Copies of this chain bind each other. A is one copy, B any other.
Amino acid sequence: MTHSLRVGIVGYGLMAKTHTYAYRAAPQLRPVPVRFEPVAMSGRDATALARAAADYGIAEYATDWRAIIKRTDVDVVDICTPPGNHAEVACAAAELGKSVLCEKPLAATYADAMAALGAVERMGVHHAVGFNYRHLPAVALLREMVVAGEVGTVRLVRATWLSDEFVDPDVPFDWRFDPTVGGSTIADLGSHLVDLAEWVVGPIREVSAMSSTFTSERSVAGSSRHVAVDDASCVLVRFDSGAQGTMEVAKVVPRRPCDFTVEINGTAGTLLFSYSRLNELWFGDGRDDARLYGMRRIRVEHPQHPETAGWWPIGQGVGYGASFVNQVFSMADAWPERPWQPGFDVGARVAGVCAAMERSAAEHRWVDVAEVVGDGPA
């Protein structure tokens, strides 16, 4: 019988659902060295929590997250709350010796992210940040091909994340519009872009950002509240390597529900991923015969491709859920010898770069990432 790690989930929303789905689905898809079994869940709304626990098939639950993380039958704490709460839970869990999976971004501020990193490192527990899109086959192949030199030296990067979540000015104020709870849009969506860019291209050295909040007041409970969160931000980035790039995140783009793209141009080739067609990776090989000039649409479902083990025959396609299942595979395969990837070190680093972007937008100038992250290891 496969050994199990028992998981306590803090939060009961969409991420709690995707994680629970993934824990349960993973061993159906391929043998895993260790199973993750959700055993308890917390949430502040007792009624909603009870219903979620029933829906997800989790027997134990409590409105106090501290009650969950200290349970002796919890090995791993899985943090699925809004960003502003992440670090506090992560620190507490680590102090209890629990391994921690934290949804992205690791924290709403760089200081919090560093505190969380400090806690897991001090306690020596396993730690991971939920940058799930790394685990899409096409994204993983993109990185694999860059690392293998198949596009030569990377010169240009452009990445966007466009949604329509905030288009409607009548969407009322909630935690997503409160930067201390939900964090900025740079942190929410941009953290994925920064993670992928640094994973693929290396450290970002310097940024110039611009942000807008087009709907600056939103109503809640009969009154109006000022919105400090960015509706949209664009950023110029310079990498340590000399490569340059652009990133854009926006939640005010009509008829783009969750459209994330990344393109890499190297000296020898181009790679292009578009999440709306997530089973594909476009590759323009600059060394091809000119008679074949153009890009190929790779169907990233072949057994030779990364993150495909356990999945369907080629041509059938996977969806969003696969990113979480593959995240589970990654954690299971590493346990217990190897650290989880990406860890809080990455999460803190990404938080630092995002903080530099926020500062750049606020101060209307280029900001060196080192201004924010200092000379520390992160």
Which chain A residues have a beta carbon within 8 Å of chain B's beta carbons?
A: 14, 17-18, 20-21, 24-25, 27-31, 54-57, 141, 151, 155-156, 158, 160, 162-164, 167, 208-210, 212, 214, 231-232, 234-236, 238, 242, 244-246, 248, 250, 252-259, 265-270, 275-280, 283-286, 288, 290-299, 301-302, 304-305, 312-322, 364-366
Contact = CB atoms under 8 A, between A and B. Distances in A.
Given A25-B25, A158-B160, A316-B320, 14 more contacts: A20-B28, A21-B28, A151-B254, A158-B248, A232-B244, A234-B245, A254-B284, A254-B285, A255-B270, A255-B288, A257-B299, A275-B315, A291-B302, A319-B321
A298 B288 CA distance: 11
A24 B57 CA distance: 11
A49 to B, nearest CB: 15
Q: Which of A160, A242, A302 has the most CB of B within 10 A?
A: A302
Does more than half of chain A's interface fall in helix, strand or loop, or is it mixed?
A: mixed
Contacts of A235: 236
Contacts of A296: 292, 294-297
A155 B230 CA distance: 13
Contacts of A314: 257-258, 293
A295 to B, nearest CB: 5
B276 A252 contact: no
A20 B212 CA distance: 46
22 contacts: A28-B56, A155-B212, A155-B231, A162-B265, A163-B315, A167-B267, A208-B210, A208-B366, A234-B244, A234-B246, A252-B267, A254-B265, A254-B270, A254-B284, A255-B269, A255-B293, A256-B315, A278-B317, A293-B302, A294-B297, A295-B297, A364-B366
A26 to B, nearest CB: 10
A313 B28 contact: no
Contact of A319 (B257, B275, B293, B317): B317
Contacts of A316: 258, 319-320
A267 B170 CA distance: 12
